[in-house]
Amino acid sequence: MAGEVLVRHPERGKGKPHRLGVRIDMTPLVDVAFLLLTFFMLASTMLRPQAMEINLPDKKPVEIPQENLLILRVNENGAIFWNIGFDRPQKVGFGDLRELLRKEYEKNPLITTVVKAARDARFTMLVDIIDELNLADVTQFSLGPFSDEDRQKIGSDL
């Protein structure tokens, strides 16, 4: 080891050499530790959490005619089904969702969208659908509970 001094005891002869005290300079280690600490503190404050702002309406019920209600249902497998009013739910791919929303809103600008996701569906799928609604300039949408009736309506279409 560099900087280490070995001394042999004169009375013992060829015995094991004894080490004298070694002094390690800890200043560079402390400097590096503080640099890393400073770096991670600054880097973590620069990261902003990604949050989506959702305005919650009053708790009073709103009556919407069935012809103005577009329902998006997401099952456990991530399949998306849509219908307007009492129409039969149809399956739509995630890539075609934005175009479908734009087309339906061009036909009827009074449409309100309700998104219903199954409890076992991935949360990221719900967030992605809300992103698609925003990208399609849909301003009127609600989140609704996924009921057994919803499961039955799309169950035969799997």
Q: What whole-number distance in Å separates Cα of residue 108 and Cα of residue 92?
A: 19
Q: Which amino acid is at 89?
A: P
Query: Tokens 């997401």 identify what position?
Result: 74
The pLDDT value given to residue 32: 94
Q: Does domain 66-155 have CATH number 3.30.420.270?
A: yes
Q: Residue 64: which pLDDT band, with cuts at 50, 70 and 90?
A: confident
pLDDT tens, position by position, 65-97: 888 889 999 988 889 999 998 888 889 998 899
**Amino acid identity of 72?**
L
Cα–chain-centroid distance for residue 38? 28
* Model pLDDT, residue 6: 59
pLDDT of residue 34: 94
* Position 42 confidence tier, pLDDT thresholds 50, 70, 90: confident
pLDDT of residue 158: 46
> 98: which 2 tokens?
């934005």
Q: Strand, helix or coil at 115?
A: strand
For 154, phi and psi rounded to 5 degrees? Answer: -95, -10
**pLDDT number for residue 15:** 59
Closest Cα partner for 116 from 135, 141, 99, 98? 141
Q: What does the domain layout of the chain look like in residue ranges? A: 6-46, 66-155
Q: Can you tell me the distance from the alpha carbon of 126 to that of 123, in angstroms, rounded to the nearest whole number?
A: 5
The pLDDT of 11-32, averaged and rounded, is 76
Q: Which pLDDT does position 10 carry in this prediction?
A: 61
- Using a 10 angstrom Cβ sphere, with 0-12 exposed, 13-18 middle and 19 or more buried, the burial of residue 62 is exposed
Q: d(Cα 112, Cα 26) in Å, to the nearest integer? A: 66
